[in-house]
Amino acid sequence: MGKFCDVMYKCGIPAVIFLMIVCGIIIRIKLVLINQSMWSDECSLYLNISQADYWKFFKPLDWLQVAPPVFMVIEKLIFDLFKNVLPMEMIPRLFPCFCSIATLILFPLFVEKVYKNRVVTAIITFMTAFTPYVVNYANEVKQYSCELFVAVLVLMFFYFFDVKKFSKKTLIICTFLISMAPLLAFSSSFIIAAGSVIVLY
């Protein structure tokens, strides 16, 4: 019985984790391909993406919308590239879907490195893959999937890299890149603040 449990822990749980990730990706892609109509808030952000120029995104947005400027720039770039190829509702959902899928792949890897416990990793993978809000925002013209993806990246940076061992040049480059993260995801500023306190301490 003990050997069976060991085999299940070594082989069965990773297989389940992989299956959950694949299912999560399929669900997200399927939602985008359904090409459902936008609701009012999505329409308001879409109007900014389709009508404003790139510099406008660094100013207050129209239609009472708030979104990180770099997120809007990426959305605008995708819109300009695919506006004559894909349906109108699908184009601005490509980047949120990508961010959600990338999070679904990266977050379990990060959790496994931190906790070194496959059961915990499986639970986190299940939550990331199938939590309704996380899945739904992969198919919305909103920045929330991007916020989650950048949050995971910033957490990984502070966890895996020993800033004290960086050369001065590397430290300057990393500081610049990290300081730009809030332009892509507002919530990353909280993680940067906490991470900076830990590094300074």
Mean pLDDT computed over 150-174: 86
In the predicted model, is pLDDT for residue 117 greater than 60?
Answer: yes
User: pTM of this prediction?
Assistant: 0.90
The encoded tokens of residue 147 equal: 């916020």
Rounded Cα–Cα distance for residues 130 and 16 (Å):
14
- Residue 174 φ then ψ, to 5°: -65, -40
Predicted pLDDT at 5: 55
Angle in degrees, 0-180, between the axes of helices 94-115 and 69-82, rounded to the nearest 10: 130
Average pLDDT, the chain: 91
Predicted pLDDT at 196: 84
Mind listing the pLDDT tens digit for each residue in 187-200? Answer: 999 999 998 888 77
The encoded tokens of residue 90 equal: 């699908």
**Higher model confidence: residue 172 or residue 11?**
172
Predicted pLDDT at 175: 85
Predicted pLDDT at 8: 54
Rounded Cα–Cα distance for residues 183 and 150 (Å):
11
The encoded tokens of residue 114 equal: 């931190």
Q: Are 13 and 119 in contact (CB under 8 A)?
A: yes
**9 falls in which pLDDT band (50, 70, 90)?**
low
Locus of tokens 């809000």 = 133
Predicted pLDDT at 146: 96
**Secondary structure element (H or E) that encloses residue 87, with its range:** none
Mind listing the pLDDT tens digit for each residue in 35-91? Answer: 888 999 999 999 999 999 999 999 999 988 999 999 999 999 999 999 999 998 899
Mean pLDDT computed over 134-161: 93
In the predicted model, is pLDDT for residue 169 greater than 90?
Answer: no
